[in-house]
Structure 1
Amino acid sequence: MGITQTATQSRIWALTHAPRGGIDVASELRRLMPRDRWLLELLHEHQVFTTEQIAALGFDHLHTARNRLVLLNQRGLLARFRDGVRPGSQQWRWTLDLIGAAYLAARNDEPEPKTAVIRRRINRLASWPGLAHQLGTNGFFVDLAAHARHTTGAQLGVWWSERTCRTVTGELVRPDGHGLWTEDGHTCSFWLEYDRSTEKAHQVTAKLDGYAALHRATGLDHTVLFWLDSPGREASLRARLAAHPAVTSGTLAVATAGSGTEHPAGPVWAPLEATDRVRLAHLQPPST
């Protein structure tokens, strides 16, 4: 089997054809370490991570992560891609390649994936306009998970992708993610809106209509978090969000953070009904 680099919009290293004799998942199982299987599951749920994100999630050293990822790429389990940027190099982005997708399909008793289908998926992901948003959303949860790895009493108990969120929210609202964060005995369950200033303020505010409808339909009282890319963006949105009927009635608890550089577990969250910032775990559900 050959892994080649293609000169498209992005530099992509992935299988171009199936191995001679077909995909031998059984043989690959003998070489998969528990951390490899964990990573395949993670990519199946969340699509794409950078090298640094994967290292933060499951490795003690960046170079160890790089070496393992390259090996998994050479074996056709993972594909990697990045844009050609100058000066310097962009971080590699990692996603499932043919053998990795075949392993998951076999485990789930699903049809074996076709090389052309996987290749198209990788190409679409590499050129996807929403890639930066997806990496940013994943990075938010990576920061929490990495913090929990090294902090006693901290845990990211739930981490759902947008796709998994939709199994609960349906068409009412489209959160970028859902999490359950615990630290020092305090817990916050939340929906995440990861904002990169690509939508107008009224469009962002209108999302609360969907969260209010979801609350009425299901009774879920998760706090709605708006992770914003600048203090200016936060300031421009807070008044609009605070005036929403679902907020003024106490139906929804909403908090914002607007530096874009602080750690999401820290005291960066400003509930709409307060001025002081608190740690993520200290955010409270709606009062009604």
Structure 2
Amino acid sequence: MRKPIHSADPLLRLQASITARDDQLLDWLYDHGVLTTDQIATALFPSLDFTQRRLRRLTLLRAVDRFRPNRAYGGSYPYHYVLDQLGYDHVHAQRGLGRPRRDQARRRKHSLTRRPDLPHLLGGNQVFTDLAAHARTHPDTELTRWQPASTYHEPGTLYRKGGDPQIITAGATGFPRPDGAGVWTEHGRSVPFFLEYDTSGEHLRVLIDKIAKYERLYVMSTWAWPVLFHLPSARREANLHHRLAGIDLRAVIATTTAELRTALDVSPADQVWQLAAHGGRHRLIDLPYTDTDHDDEFSTHTAPDQDGRAA
């Protein structure tokens, strides 16, 4: 006799109900921890109402869970979504990782709700969800890859064949730990990049120290990606460029600001990136990089210029 639907295995019930868009969301929450309702809506869905209905369904299926932090001066923030335990079960099954810990969702949610730098994490995630939103409404563009900060926490992950072995042996403190990394594609071209998301909570010299680490990586390695510094204000950006003036940087450092993007209502894909020691603004896809591994994988690079960098 056929079992009634309510007695079916919860994971099978979830997998029977899930869509490709749900799969993308669960993958993002697994890799990047937390996203708000608005971030999910702009990146994946046609409307906020549609998003809220789908998130309610995924919550009932125990694929996702949510929390709502309180504001310091009253009220609360929008819902923040994380994976529930069945969401972990689903992602692990899809990735062939074996069963997760039975309390994995509870432990992760507990960590995120008490994370002091949660606004920083959400801000970095916002840059990537803005790129995904741009791709959703612009044909022939794609956020081809989005990697979390943890991908590059160990210096060995920054090593490529032909580079200085000290990248592996020198320890993590002398090398950058980006807030995320990605690959952006437009019309058959792609560019890899690192992201540094700044809330202005740190002294400017901390940003200079980060840039020095990227410069060190440039000198010791065989590849170089543009490093995107997303800053809160024009004043912060001007001060950073002033501090960098006169330094012969070889690493590709590009900056933009939340103020500029808000005023122009543009995405990180647009012409908002200012290269250190250069005037004008550039589109993300036009930023230079050096990486033969990337070119071999994506086969979307343009011809290199005289310095060996993609044009």
TM-score (norm 1): 0.82
Tell me if structure 2 keeps the 8 A contact 1:255–1:272: yes
The question of whether the paired residues in 1 share the 8 Å contact of 2:183 and 2:193 is answered with yes
In structure 2, what is the Cα distance between the partners aligned to 1:259 and 1:33? 33
Specify the SS of the correspondent of 2:213: helix
Match of 2:285 among 274, 281, 284: 281
Task: Identify if the C-alpha distance between structure 1 residues 120 and 185 changes in structure 2 by more than 3 Å, giving closer, same or farther.
Answer: closer
Q: What is the match of residue 215 of structure 1?
A: 218
Q: 2:125 aligns with which of 138, 141, 148?
A: 138
- Residue correspondence of structure 1 range 198-277 to structure 2 within 5 A: 198-245=201-248, 247=249, 251-262=250-261, 263-277=267-281
Letter in 2 for 1:258: T
Q: 1:30 to 1:182 in 2, by over 3 A?
A: closer
| Contact 2:14–2:63 (Cα < 8 Å) also in 1 | no
TM alignment of 1:114-129, pairs within 5 A: 114-115=102-103, 117-129=104-116
Segment drifting more, 149-158 vs 224-233: 149-158
Alpha-carbon contact 1:173-1:207 (below 8 Å) kept: yes
CA RMSD of aligned residues (A): 2.5
- Per the TM alignment, residue 190 of structure 1 is displaced from its structure 2 partner at its CA by 1.6
The superposition leaves residues 198-229 of structure 1 with CA deviations (integer Å, 9 ceiling, x where unpaired) of: 22111111112321232344322111111100
Equivalent residue number for residue 92 of structure 1: 79
Residues 23 and 102, structure 1, Cα contact 8 Å, conserved in 2: no
2: CA distance, partners of 1:22 / 1:166:
41
Q: Residues 109 and 161 (structure 1 numbering): CA distance in 2 closer, same or farther, change over 3 Å? A: closer
**Which one is further off, 162-171 or 262-271?**
162-171
**Mapped pair 1:191 → 2:194:** yes
Q: Which residue of 1 aligns with 2:99?
A: 111
Alpha-carbon distance in structure 1 between the residues aligned to 2:218 and 2:27: 30
Identical aligned pairs, as a percentage? 33
Q: Tell me the residue number matched to 1:52.
A: 38
Question: What does the per-residue CA deviation read over 1:131-167, in whole Å, with 9 as the maximum and x for residues that have no partner?
Answer: 1111111110111111111113322222211112336
Q: Which runs of 5 or more structure 1 residues have no equivalent in the other structure? A: 1-20
Instruction: Give me the whole-angstrom Cα distance separating, in 2, the residues matched to 1:112 and 1:206.
Output: 38
The answer to whether the 8 Å contact 1:232/1:258 transfers is: no
1:73 maps to amino acid = T
Give the alignment partner of residue 26 of structure 1, picking from 12, 31, 34.
Answer: 12
Task: Give the superposition deviation at 1:22.
Answer: 12
* Equivalent-residue separation in structure 1 for 2:46 and 2:201 (angstroms): 35
Question: The residue matched to 1:268 in structure 2 has which SS?
Answer: coil
Q: From the superposition, tell whether residues 206 and 23 of structure 1 become closer, same or farther in structure 2 (CA, over 3 Å).
A: farther
Q: C-alpha distance in 2, partners of 1:111/1:242?
A: 52
The Cα of 1:182 is off from its aligned counterpart by 3.1
* 1:18-71 superposed Cα distances (whole Å, 9 cap, x missing partner): xxx997423432222232222111111111111111112221111111111112
Q: Secondary structure at the match of 1:26?
A: helix
CA contact (8 A) 1:225 1:256 kept: yes
Aligned pairs, how many?
A: 263
Partner of 1:160: 147
**Is 1:35 the counterpart of 2:27 in the alignment?**
no
- Output one character per residue of 1:171-213: Cα deviation in whole Å (capped at 9) or x when no partner: 2210111122233565432211111112211111111232123
Contact 1:105 1:113 survives alignment (8 Å) = no
In structure 2, do the counterparts of structure 1 residues 260 and 166 end up closer, same or farther at CA, with 3 Å as the change threshold?
farther
Q: Which structure 2 segments of 5+ residues have no match?
A: 1-6, 159-167, 262-266, 291-306
**Distance change in 2, residues 1:202/1:106 (3 Å):** same
Would the aligned equivalents of 1:43 and 1:95 in 2 still touch at CA under 8 Å?
yes
